Amino acid sequence: MDPSENKFDELKNMTETETDKDTAIAKNTPEYYIQKVSSVTGWSEEKTLNEMEIARTQLGIPYKQYFKDRYYKFSRSKQERKSGRYHRKQVQNDLILDRIYSQTGKSSTKVYKTIKKLNRYGIFRVDLDLYSRYGMYKMDLYDNLALLKKLKKERQLSNELRNQFGLIDKGELSYDDIIPELDEYMSCIRYIVTPRLYGNIKFRLLNSVPELKDESIDKIYDTVIDVVMSKQLLGFNENEYIMYHLYRFDLKGKREFLSDKERMQIINTVNTREIYDLVNNKYSLYLKLKDGFGRDMTPILTEEDLPSFRAFVEKHPNFVLKPFNESLGRGIKLIKTTAETDIDELLKTLMDENRTFLMEELILQDERMAAFNKDTINTVRLMVYFNGEYAVPVSSFMRTGRVGSFVDNAGAGGLFADVDINTGILTTDGGNEVGELFDEHPDSHMKYKGFQIPLWDKAVELGTRSCVEIGTPCFIGWDLALTDKGQWVIVEGNGLPQFVNQVNLGYGLKKVLVDALEKNRPVNEK
């Protein structure tokens, strides 16, 4: 008998049964969620149980979360990525609850009970993030309800203003025409900036923006209000606000920047789920574009892959390990072995740390690219749009790592500089994710601006050809490296590439992305 049948019988016994299943199964029980998923997917209950058990035991996803977040819609690799975000969210929630308890003595049960009570009023949806962000746990019921009414009003006004932004973009309105609406909106924003929210943002600004430290209290207050407006109305999170120095721009200037939220909305009009699944599964992409990768790779999924692991180590004693379900350079490391290395024990250790991973042949980079930082494979991020007929480069930047770091990602302390997509020449100083600029690399003292990336036409050819080989419309950010043999190779692809070169340029690139998608042509000018 299939073990899942015993498990299913066990779960069924946990609830009373009646003829009518809709009325028989109590809510929030395992059987309830099995039935829910089965009815949505059309799967048998046995298949549903098997899928949900895999997610529970291997990914740590409870049945309720499996149904709520629709895990049944996604491939296994996408489920792994979603589960990573879920567990990080759980850690964040625990930290929030601990902080609330330390300040008020309120238990997690009492916090969630209060949130549930507030949601019964039906004014504005409250979750733990919002409850914490606005310091609602320190407010009485009256003040909480007043805040929720203002948040609801802010949502209505922001929707109206976004509609007016559309008319401005079409030339049918000007920014002066919407001043009354903006004034009303800003008045609403000032109300929802609670003391706790103000204090948190002020602390972040004064620690990240040196030029604000000598400003007046009124100027700092106005900047805090501007941060909240930029988030609520324009979709910029606090990191982006600081990184892009948005406090230096008026509303028009801010709207020229591409926020992460808008970037995803625009790119999602091109990339399908199949594209994301292909690009996010590093080995599937490798098999699709093997010539473009120009090196050996092999996946390690279970301990039964020991023969493959041994064969790869024998051929490549030093190799790169990449976890399957991570991004932004997280988990990537250089593994070095010797004749004395216990291969069986190494595999066990690596699987304990990563569960599944990809082994890659180490790239030996061109000395001209290595001049910025020899410890890192310094790469080019080339963003390419393929409309189904032909591919065009849209934007590009070069990434350089820091001494002692194996990856060049900005999130790992790396620096980046804008690349002219027509010439391959760096057009700006280097920048980092907190908006600091450097005319030269802090470690090697290599100058950024004016550096000519070698064999640039070959890099562009590889990026555009790779999109065409995928075969369907797509927008991909290719990370490319130049080897010591003078060959450009794919490091990996990104389905939602960031435009961090907005930091270096000092202006937004939203028009660049929109023009590329609408006119199918590259744009490399302000």
Would you state the pLDDT for residue 404?
A: 58
Unique residue bearing structure tokens 């009009």? 269
Q: Is residue 103 part of a domain?
A: yes
Please classify residue 208 by burial: count the beta carbons closer than 10 Å to its beta carbon, then call 0-12 exposed, 13-18 middle and 19+ buried. Answer: middle
In the beta sheet, which residues pair with residue 495? none
Same domain, 338 and 387: no
Q: Is 105 helix (H, G, I), strand (E, B) or coil?
A: coil
> Quick one: DSSP state of residue 186?
H
Unique residue bearing structure tokens 């998923």? 37
Domain that holds residue 171: 95-256
Q: Is residue 49 part of a domain?
A: yes
Would you state the pLDDT for residue 526?
A: 35
Would you state the pLDDT for residue 376?
A: 87
Q: How far is CA 106 from the centre of its chain?
A: 33
Q: Is residue 272 part of a domain?
A: no
pLDDT digits (tens, 9 = 90+) for 317-370: 999 898 876 655 667 888 898 888 888 888 888 888 777 888 899 999 999 999
CB 164 within 8 A of CB 173: yes
**Residue 388 is part of a domain; what is its CATH number?**
3.30.470.20
Residue that is last in its domain, among 314, 343, 361: 361
Using CA atoms in the order 42, 47, 51, 53, what is the torsion angle rounded to 10 degrees? 130
Q: Is residue 268 part of a domain?
A: no
Q: Where are the alpha helices (DSSP H) in 209-288?
A: 217-234, 238-243, 251-255, 260-267, 273-280, 282-288
Q: Report the 10 Å Cβ neighbour count for 363.
A: 19
Q: Is residue 275 part of a domain?
A: no
CA terminus-to-terminus distance, the chain: 67
Same domain, 370 and 514: yes
Same domain, 305 and 370: no
Unique residue bearing structure tokens 């290595």? 370
Q: Is residue 283 part of a domain?
A: no
> Tokens at residue 353, please?
């740390």
Same domain, 324 and 200: no
d(CA 87, CA 58): 13
Same domain, 496 and 415: yes
Q: Is residue 181 part of a domain?
A: yes
In the beta sheet, which residues pair with residue 493? 478
Q: How far is CA 134 from CA 97, 154, 191, 202, in A?
A: 14, 14, 11, 14
Same domain, 416 and 511: yes
Mean pLDDT by 10 residues, the chain (526 residues): 46 41 70 92 91 91 92 84 88 94 95 96 95 94 95 96 95 95 95 93 92 92 96 94 94 96 93 91 90 92 87 91 69 86 88 83 93 91 94 95 60 81 96 89 94 97 96 96 96 93 94 87 42
Residue that is last in its domain, among 361, 378, 401: 361
Same domain, 399 and 493: yes
pLDDT digits (tens, 9 = 90+) for 198-243: 999 999 999 999 889 889 999 999 999 999 999 999 999 999 999 9
**Residue 436, CB-side half-sphere exposure with 13 Å CA sphere:** 12
Same domain, 204 and 66: no
d(CA 429, CA 397): 11
CB 390 within 8 A of CB 520: yes
pLDDT digits (tens, 9 = 90+) for 448-479: 999 999 999 999 999 999 999 999 999 999 99
**Residue 113, CB-side half-sphere exposure with 13 Å CA sphere:** 5
Same domain, 488 and 453: yes
Same domain, 165 and 194: yes
Q: Is residue 85 part of a domain?
A: no
Same domain, 219 and 161: yes
- The answer to whether the predicted template modeling score (pTM) of the entire model surpasses 0.85 is no
Same domain, 122 and 242: yes
Q: Number of folded domains in the chain?
A: 4
Angle between helices 30-41 and 45-59 (to 10 degrees): 120
Residue that is last in its domain, among 256, 281, 308: 256
**Residue 310 is part of a domain; what is its CATH number?**
3.30.1490.20
